[in-house]
Structure 1
C-alpha cells in the first residue's frame, strides 16, 4: 500500500510538472536562425572521391522553441551534396540526405548539420580540369527563408587502380621477380603494371593511384616537370628488375607554388591532411631496377619516402637524387638496403625513425644535403642518420655486407635529439667520412673512441659539432639557414655544388647544407 501511494504521489508530481510546461509547443521559425558561418567551403576534392565531413552549427537565440518547416538543398535531389541534421538523414528515397521536414530546435539551443560530397566532374559539363561546384542550404521558404552557400572545388584526375573481380570482390595483385632469380613470384600486394600509354606522367592532370603502380622490366616511368602524383592509403610505386624511374622536375620561379616541381603526396587535399605522415606507402626501387634519377621533387607524408634496394657495386649509382625534399614520413625518409645512392642539394626532415638510413652496407655519397629530424609526433628510436652493415633475420642470424663508401660532404646533420647520427659496424669493411659538415653529436659515452673518434682524420675532417644551424622553422619543414647559422662558411670548395636547392649561386665562403644562408622575413 505504501508503494502504491508513493507511486501515485510521484505520478501526480509528474503530471503537475508537465502541465506547467509547453516543451512540446513549437512555433514555426520566423527567419530568426543564426549560423556559425555564412558559407561552407569544402576543400578541394578529386572527381569521384568522397570529401571529409564538414559541419555547420545553427542557433536558435530566441526564448521560444521553434520548428524549422524545411531544410533542403536548392538543387534538390540533383544536388551532389548530402547532409545529416543532428544525426538524422531526412526523408527516405531520393530525398535522403537532401530534404528534411519539421526540424525542432529548442529555445537558446543549437543543432549541427554535417555536409559531405562526392562529385563526378564528367557530369558537370566542365571544360577544364577543375570545376567550382556550388549549392545552397535553404532553411524554410517564402518570406522566412534563410540560406547558406556551399562551395567545393572539384579536380579532374587520371586514376590508376588495380582491377576488381565483381563476383568475388578480389582485387588484382602483383606478380614479378622479387629476388632476382629469374622466376616470377606471386605477391599479396594490390596493384597492377602500368601500360605503355601510362608511363609518362604529365602536368596536364593530377594522377591518383590506388594500390601499387608497377613498372615492368625494360620500361621507364617518367614524371615531367610540374606533375602532381597522389596516392591513396597503402599505395605507391614499384620499379621492378630492369625498370627505371625518371622524375624530371625543374627549378620553379615561385618557391611557394613550386610550379615546376614534381610533387608526390597523399590523395586527401584538405588542409587537415597537409602534413600528416604515413598517408601512403612508398616509392620502391627494387633490387635490379636501374638508372633511377630524381630532380626537383617534393615527396611527403609517406610511410617510407624512398625504399632503395640492391645494386651497390654497379658503375652508375642505383639512385641519383638532386634538388629535392622528402619529409613527414612515418618511418624513413630514404631507406637504403645494400644499395648505392648519390645525393646533392637534398633536404630530409621529420621522420618517425631516421630521415636517412643506409643499412646492410652499400655505397652512399651525400653532398650539400640537410639531413635533419625534428619529429615530435611520437618517440623515435633512431637518429636523423643511421649507417650499418648488417641485417638480422627472423632466426636472429646476422648477415654482414660491406659498407664500401659513405661520404657526407658540406652537409648538415641535425635534429631535436642527441646524437643525430649512429654508426653500427659488424663486419671488417666500414668506410665512411664526414667532411666540412655541421653535426649534432654530444654523447660522452660514445665520442672520443673507436668510430666516434672525431680527431681521426680518416673519418672526420673540418666538422663543427653541436652548434646552432639556425633553421627557419624546422618543425614546419622550412630548412633554410639564417644569418646566425653556424653552417655558414664551413663548407669546402672541393665538394661544392654550383647552386643551392633554390637555384642561388654558391660563391665565396661555402655554406654547409642544401641552402645558402638568408635573412628571413619577419
Structure 2
C-alpha cells in the first residue's frame, strides 16, 4: 500500500512540474499571426449594439509567450469593447500580460455601440485598431464599422414600467399608433428616404389615417415587430422603378439584423397586417424580406388592395396570406415560404397577372399556391370565393405538387387559370379524378396550361426568378392579359413571357 502511495505522489509531482512549466513564458517578439488583418463589423444603427465578431490570434513559435498589452487604440474612450479568452480586462479596452502557449491561439471577441456623432461625416465609418504589444513589437488589427443614422419608432414606456400596447380582438400586442404630430419626429405617417426607420413592436396606422411610404424608403423591423393598418386606416407604398441594382427607388421592408449571415434568414420580424375593415391600400415597387408573413390581408372593406411590382422573399409562414380579401396583383414575385408563397383563403376575390409564385422551402408540406373558400373552426366556416383568376403566371417549386384548391360546396368557388405554367403531379387516383384539377379537359377553368415544365429560373437560392429564352415560360403568354412592362421596367415583347420577368439572355 505504501508503495502505491509513493508512486501516486511521484506521478502528481511530475504532473505538477509539467503544469508549472506551461506558465513560464517569454515576452512576445511581435511575431503574432492573425485570422484577419481587418475586422469589419457590419453596418449598425446609431447607438444600437452590434453583433459579436471574432478574431483569432496565433502563436506559431516554440515558446510559451506573454503579450505585455492588448488594447484598443482609442483606449478607454473607444466605442469598441473586447473579451480576450473570456477575460474582460479594463472595461473591455485594455488587457495586460496575456499568455499564449507554444503553437496555440487565443480568441478575441469584439463588439461596438457607436453613435452617428462618432463617425466621419463623409464616410459614416467608425474605426479603431487593436494594438498588440508596443514599440518595435507592436502589431495592429484594424476595426471598421459602418454606422447608419436612423429614426427609431417604438412603444412608449410608462412611469410604472409598463409598455404601450395595441388592442387586437380580446388581446393586446406590443405596439403603438403612428402620430402625425409627434413632438420628436413630426408626421410619423409619412415615411421618406432621408433616413432609414427602425421599428420596435407593431406600428399601427390609426382609423381614418393613411401611412405613406415614399420612393426609396427603407424600414427595418426588430423581432416581433411589423405594421398594422386599423379599421378604416390605409397604407400606400409608392416605390418607383430603380435605374441601378442598388434599388434606389424601391421601398424595402426587412429585419434589423444587417449582418450578411442574416441576409436571407426567414422569420426575423412579424408582418404587414391589413386588419379587418382597412381601406384604399396599395403597394407598388416594394420588396419584403425575411418576415413571418409578408402581407396578411384580412377582410378589407370591399375596396381592392392594389399590389404591383412587388417582391416577397423568405417568409417563415406565408408570402401573402389573404382571408376574405379583395386583391388585384400585377408583376408579383414571391419565393420561399414555410407554408405557402400565396394563400387565398376563406373566400374573397383575387386577380393575379404576370406573377411568379415559387416555393423551394425544404418541406413536403410547402406549396406555391393555396386557394380555398373556408377556414375550419371559423363562424361561419365558408365564405364565397367570388373570383380567383390567374393570368400569364408561373406556379412552381421543388415539391411534386405546388397548388392546392380546397372547396366547400356550400359557398361559391369561382376560379380560372389562363396561360399559366403549373407544377402539379396528378398521377394519384384521388387527384386524377378530382374535378378541380382537370387541366386538359376543363376549358371553363383552365386555358393553355403548361403542366410540369421547367421555367429555368436564374437562381432560386438567390431569389433571382428571372428567365431566359430557354425557359418553358418563354413567349407563352396571352396578349389579352398583357402588362406592358415587367417587374423591373423591361418592355414585354409579343407574345409575352409568363411570370413577372421578361426574358433576358444571361452570360454563360
| TM-score for both structures, normalised by structure 2 | 0.95
2:371 matched residue in structure 1: 387
> 1:210, 1:235 within 8 Å by CA — same for their partners in 2?
yes
Quote the offset at 1:16 in angstroms: 4.2
Quote the offset at 1:12 in angstroms: 2.2
> 2:128, 2:143 within 8 Å by CA — same for their partners in 1?
yes
Instruction: State the Cα deviation string for residues 74-93 of structure 1 (Å, max 9, x = none).
Output: 11111101111111111xxx
Quote the offset at 1:518 in angstroms: 1.3
> 2:238, 2:283 within 8 Å by CA — same for their partners in 1?
yes
1:182 matched residue in structure 2: none
More displaced stretch, 136-145 vs 16-25: 16-25
2:439 equivalent to 1:450: no
- 1:25 and 1:296 mapped to 2: Cα distance? 65
Quote the offset at 1:188 in angstroms: 2.1
2:423 equivalent to 1:432: no
**Equivalent residue runs for 1:287-302 within 5 Å:** 287-302=276-291
- 2:194 and 2:467 mapped to 1: Cα distance? 34
Quote the offset at 1:14 in angstroms: 3.0
2:505 equivalent to 1:502: no
Quote the offset at 1:521 in angstroms: 2.1
**Equivalent residue runs for 1:202-217 within 5 Å:** 202-217=192-207
**Equivalent residue runs for 1:22-171 within 5 Å:** 22-90=21-89, 95-122=90-117, 124=118, 127=121, 131-168=124-161, 170-171=162-163
- 2:361 and 2:100 mapped to 1: Cα distance? 46
2:249 matched residue in structure 1: 260
- 2:160 and 2:72 mapped to 1: Cα distance? 36
- 1:311 and 1:201 mapped to 2: Cα distance? 23
Instruction: State the Cα deviation string for residues 55-84 of structure 1 (Å, max 9, x = none).
Output: 111011110100111111011111101111
> 2:84, 2:106 within 8 Å by CA — same for their partners in 1?
yes
2:470 equivalent to 1:470: no
Quote the offset at 1:165 in angstroms: 3.0
- 1:126 and 1:144 mapped to 2: Cα distance? 30
Distance 1:436 1:110, change over 3 A: same
> 2:39, 2:144 within 8 Å by CA — same for their partners in 1?
yes
Instruction: State the Cα deviation string for residues 90-138 of structure 1 (Å, max 9, x = none).
Output: 1xxxx3211111111000100110001111223x26546x720000101
- 1:16 and 1:407 mapped to 2: Cα distance? 83
Quote the offset at 1:398 in angstroms: 6.4
> 1:439, 1:464 within 8 Å by CA — same for their partners in 2?
yes
> 1:438, 1:464 within 8 Å by CA — same for their partners in 2?
yes
> 1:418, 1:443 within 8 Å by CA — same for their partners in 2?
no
Distance 1:99 1:398, change over 3 A: same
- 2:179 and 2:411 mapped to 1: Cα distance? 45
Quote the offset at 1:280 in angstroms: 0.1
Distance 1:143 1:167, change over 3 A: farther
Indicate the SS of the match to 2:311. Answer: strand
Quote the offset at 1:17 in angstroms: 5.3
2:316 equivalent to 1:323: no
> 1:42, 1:151 within 8 Å by CA — same for their partners in 2?
yes
- 1:55 and 1:126 mapped to 2: Cα distance? 25
Indicate the SS of the match to 1:72. Answer: strand
- 1:474 and 1:412 mapped to 2: Cα distance? 14
1:484 matched residue in structure 2: 470
1:240 matched residue in structure 2: 230
| TM-score for both structures, normalised by structure 1 | 0.92
- 1:340 and 1:450 mapped to 2: Cα distance? 25
Indicate the SS of the match to 1:143. Answer: helix
1:15 matched residue in structure 2: 13
2:401 equivalent to 1:419: yes
More displaced stretch, 486-495 vs 330-339: 486-495
- 2:191 and 2:53 mapped to 1: Cα distance? 32
Instruction: State the Cα deviation string for residues 178-200 of structure 1 (Å, max 9, x = none).
Output: 5xxxxxx6632101000111111
2:173 equivalent to 1:174: no
Quote the offset at 1:404 in angstroms: 0.5
Task: Note the aligned Cα RMSD (angstroms).
Answer: 1.6
More displaced stretch, 223-232 vs 25-34: 25-34
More displaced stretch, 203-212 vs 501-510: 501-510
Instruction: State the Cα deviation string for residues 417-447 of structure 1 (Å, max 9, x = none).
Output: 1211100001341000000111111222213
Structure 1 stretches of 5 or more lacking a match? 179-184
- 2:170 and 2:352 mapped to 1: Cα distance? 36
Quote the offset at 1:51 in angstroms: 1.0
Indicate the SS of the match to 1:221. Answer: strand
Aligned pair count reads: 497
